[in-house]
Structure 1
Amino acid sequence: GFARREVLLHKSQFTTDEISKALINLEQTGEIILRQHTAADCEFWRKVREQAIGLIDAMHKETPERAGVDLNEIRSALRIEEPEVLESLLADLCEGGFVRKGSVIARTSHRPKLPAQVQSIEQRIREVLSKQPFDPPSRKAIESDPHARQVVRFLIENGDLIELAFDVVLLRESFGRMKSQVVKFISKNGPATVSELRQALGSSRRVIVPLLERLDREGTTRREEDTRCLR
C-alpha cells in the first residue's frame, strides 16, 4: 500500500533523521517508492501508475477531442482518497511523458482533435454562428444532438468558441470584433447604456448583457450606474 511520509513511524521512538534514512535505504533497495509526500510499496505503486496510464490512454482514444482526463476521474477510478497521494501520482506521471493542464492530465503528445465523423458538424456550427455573428442562435438551438454538444464543448475548450453565458456562445473572431466595437463606441461617444451599445452593434440584450459583464471582468470596461465606460 502507501502512506504519507510524515505519518510513518509517527509514534515510534526513532528520530526524524533516522526515519528519513530508513526510508531512503528502503528506496535504494527497491522495496519502496518515495514520491513527494508519499511512500509506497514498489509493486503497489507500479500497478497504480499503470492503471492511471491505461485510463488516460483509453480516454484519449475514446474522446480524442478532450484536452485530457479530469483529475477527479483519475481519483475516482483509482479510489484515491488522500489528496497528497494523488498529487504524488500526478507528479510522477509528469516526469515521464505526461503534462498537467489545469484540472486535467494528458500525454504530452496528445493533441485534441474531433473524430472524423463529427467534423462536418463543426463546419455547420461555424457557418451558423458566422451568419449572425453578433446575435447568434442560442446554444440550445445549436446543440441539436449529442454530437453537436460534443463539438461545442471541444470548440469551447480549445478557445474557438467564447462562452458568454450558459446559452450564449460566440465565435472567437466575433467576440474580438464586438469587443473592439464596444471600445470604439465608448471612446467616441462617452459612457453608453446597454441599449445604446446593443443598437450600435446590432445585437440583442440576450447577448450584449453577458458580453459587457465579460468585458467588466476582463478590465476592459466598468459599470457606472446604468452605463459602461472604459477603464
Structure 2
Amino acid sequence: MDYLLALAVDPAVWAALVTLVVMEVVLGIDNLVFISILSNKLPPSQRVRTQRIGIALALVMRLALLGTVAWIAHLTQPALSLFGHAFAWRDLILIGGGLFLVWKATGEIHYHVASNEEGRATSTEGPTRLTPRSAIGQILVLDLVFSVDSIITAVGMTEHVAIMYVAVIVAVAAMMFAAGPLSRFIDRNPTIVMLALSFLLVIGMTLIAEGFGTHVPKGYIYAAMAFSAFVEGMNMLARRKKWKREQQRETHDCAS
C-alpha cells in the first residue's frame, strides 16, 4: 500500500502513466480497425457480442503478459541466426504477425474487389466462412503481436508494473467504447473498408520490416494514415453534397 501511495504522489509517475496510456491507445488503433472489419463480416446480431468478448479476452491476455514482464523483456535477446542476421523471439513474433496481417488484408481486399465487380453484398460474407469463434481467435492472435511489442516498449519507458497495468486497462476500455461506433461507421461507408484494409497492409509490412531489424518511425505511418483519412473524409462530404443536389433536382423536376 505504501508503494502505491508513493507512486500516486510522484509527478514523474503521472507523466509516465499519461505517456503510456497515449501510446497504448495509439497502438490500439491498428487492432481496433482489424476488429471492426472482422466483426462486420458477422451477422449484425453477433457483432457487438463478438467485439466485446474478443476485446475482453485481449485484456485478460495483456494483463497476464504483464505478469511475465521480466520474461518478455528477454524476448529481445538473440534466439537464432539466419543468413548472418540474429533474430530475437520478438523479431520472429513481429514477422509472424506481419505476415498474418498482410495475408488477411490482401485476402479481404481481393474479396471486396471481386464482390464489387459481381455486385454481391460484402457485409456478412467473406473469402471464407467466418464464425464468432474464429473471429475471436483472429482478434487474439493479432492482439498478441501488438501486446508483446507494446509491453517491450513500455518496459523501456517505466519500471513500475502497476503503471503498465493501469495504462493497459484504460487503453482497452477505450477500445471497448470505440469498437461499436467505428464498426458502424465502416459498415455505413464501404469506401472506408478499402482504406482501412490498406492501413492494415501497411502496418503488416511495417511489422515485417521491424522484425528484420529495419526501424520504421510510427509517426510517419500514422501521419500518412491521418492524411489519407482526411482526404477520404473530404471525398465523402463531396459525394454527400452531390447526392443531396441530385435529390433536390429530382424533387424539383417532379414538382414542375
Q: What TM-score results when the alignment is normalised by the length of structure 2?
A: 0.25
Greater fraction helix: 2
Q: What TM-score results when the alignment is normalised by the length of structure 1?
A: 0.27
Greater fraction strand: 1
Structure having the higher Rg: 1
